[in-house]
Amino acid sequence: MTPTYVSALEMFSIGIGPSSSHTVGPMRAGECFASGLAKLGLRHRVARYKVVLYGSLAATGVGHSTPDAALAGLDSLDPATCDPALVHGRYARLEAGETLRVAGVPLVLADIEFKPRVRDKGHANAMSFVALDAVGEVLKEQLFLSIGGGFIVQPGADPVQVDAPVERVVGSDYASMDELLAGLGARSLADFAREAEEALHGVDGLETGLDAIWENMKASVEIGLRTEGTLPGGLRVPRRAAALHRHLLAADEHPAESLVSAYAMAVNEQNAGGGRVVTAPTNGAAGVVPAVLYHAVQRGAGREKVHEFLLTACVIGSLIKANASISGAEGGCQAEVGSACAMAAGALTAVRGGTPAQVENAAEIALEHHLGLTCDPVAGLVQIPCIERNAVAASTALLASRMAMLGDGSHLVSLDTAIETMRQTGADMSEKYKETSTGGLAVTVPYC
Ligand code: SF4
């Protein structure tokens, strides 16, 4: 049995916007392909690269910077540490007729192919890299699946992990939240996660990793709250978080739900602008967890509580990832923003002193009311409805937590049932609503 728990240092990966599946994943895939070539001693023989995008990566890839990210990966840029400005704009330059040098090799527009109707590669987000020598012989060809949250795997009935950085799973096996709760004893969900994490990363490695995640989340809120202007991509969407935050602070009252919405918008505007964000559990849904955690810190949560929040959120996100999906291309937006809301609601309940049963209840309330939510980003950009959707989900997380804290944890619909319902709903959902921008707001909102 594959362990369910995904390390928080993987679940919350530091990267760049605007998408974990369409930007961070392809960048990692490109880097993985390039390092594989280097290991084989073939890099010096490459005369041409080809990149082929399939399914959703082809349908909405340009708006999500997928070609830019794939090429940056071939150039061995790391999403966690690179200057985002070095990633974005590559495809636009190709479209303008430029020849780029990628990993020392000339590359033109025709070297990137889009096949949006090909969806039989093992996942809706698939891509191939091909390296050819000077006479056109294929030196290496590799297919990757970007399965959401920045995770990449190689295809097959039983997808296997590829070279680092990739998904790493740790800890005990648990098939469901009910099973996990039954075996917790006196421990909290965060205690359970900490045991698994420390076995993998050691105490210092875990603490340092969690600190880095929070520092980057905090920075994405605070930079977003002081950045104005218009987002890239042609929709001319103005950044609104900074003005909203100023307005709220100037008012006589500062409702928590409004403030947390401003925090979430700040992060998602950073993401839409291609800036540095942390997948939580994806980039499209990157605003909810940091916003609610920022709210908790504003209310006095210290370092220990920050770590407890992140670990609790990771337990919930891991379970959803294992039993349903955190990918909009697989399950629609319920899988992205719905998952983020469940993670944030449960984690906030934990740091408020809620019992594991109340944490489970909060996560269930949050997820249940995102069931059926479709993914239909206008113009393939992670802006409309994504930015406001995170803002609303962040305030929903506060409400879900409050409702759970007012009860004793007993309730009718379990989190496991909500997750299974989300899985089934995602399976039934038309492909139009799975990050293809061929349905919903993506077609009813005029864009020219
Ligand atoms: S609509 Fe939701 S799932 Fe789709 S790109 Fe936006 S945030 Fe992600």
Is residue 17 within 6 Å of ligand 1 at its C-beta? no
**Mutation pick for ligand 1 pocket among 267, 279, 333 (CB with most ligand atoms within 8 Å):** 333
Torsion angle, CA of 127/132/137/143, rounded to 10 degrees?
-20
Per-10-residue mean pLDDT of the chain, 448 residues long, equals 82 94 95 96 97 94 94 96 95 97 97 94 93 97 92 67 41 83 95 93 97 98 98 95 97 93 98 96 96 98 98 97 93 97 98 98 98 94 96 98 97 97 97 89 82
The per-residue pLDDT for 172 is 58
- CATH architecture, domain 18-161: 2-Layer Sandwich (3.30)
Q: Which tokens go with 330?
A: 């697989």
**How distant, in Å, are the alpha carbons of 8, 206, 266, 373 from that of 301?**
19, 19, 21, 32
Domain ranges (residues) in the chain? 18-161, 177-444
- 131 Cα–ligand 1 center, Å: 32
**Could you tell me if 260 and 395 are in contact, meaning their C-beta atoms sit under 8 angstroms apart?**
yes
Among protein residues, the one whose CA lies closest to atom 4 of ligand 1: 375
Is residue 377 within 6 Å of ligand 1 at its C-beta? yes
The per-residue pLDDT for 149 is 84
Is residue 267 within 6 Å of ligand 1 at its C-beta? no
Q: Tell me the whole-structure pTM to 2 decimals.
A: 0.90
DSSP letters spanning 257-310: HHHHHHHHHHHHHHHHTT-EEE-SS-STTTTHHHHHHHHHHHTT--HHHHHHHH
- 157 Cα–ligand 1 center, Å: 27
| Backbone phi and psi for residue 18, each to the nearest 5 degrees, phi listed first | -100, 0
Is residue 326 within 6 Å of ligand 1 at its C-beta? no
Buried b (16+ CB within 10 A) or exposed e, 146-174: bbbbbbbbbeeeebeebeebbbebbbeeb
Location of structure tokens 């961070």: 24
Entry field: residues in the chain: 448
Strands (E), 182-279: 276-278
Among protein residues, the one whose CA lies closest to atom 6 of ligand 1: 386
- 231 Cα–ligand 1 center, Å: 16
Among protein residues, the one whose CA lies closest to atom 1 of ligand 1: 375
Q: Which tokens go with 196?
A: 């698994």
Q: Which atom of ligand 1 is nearest to the CA of 328?
A: 3
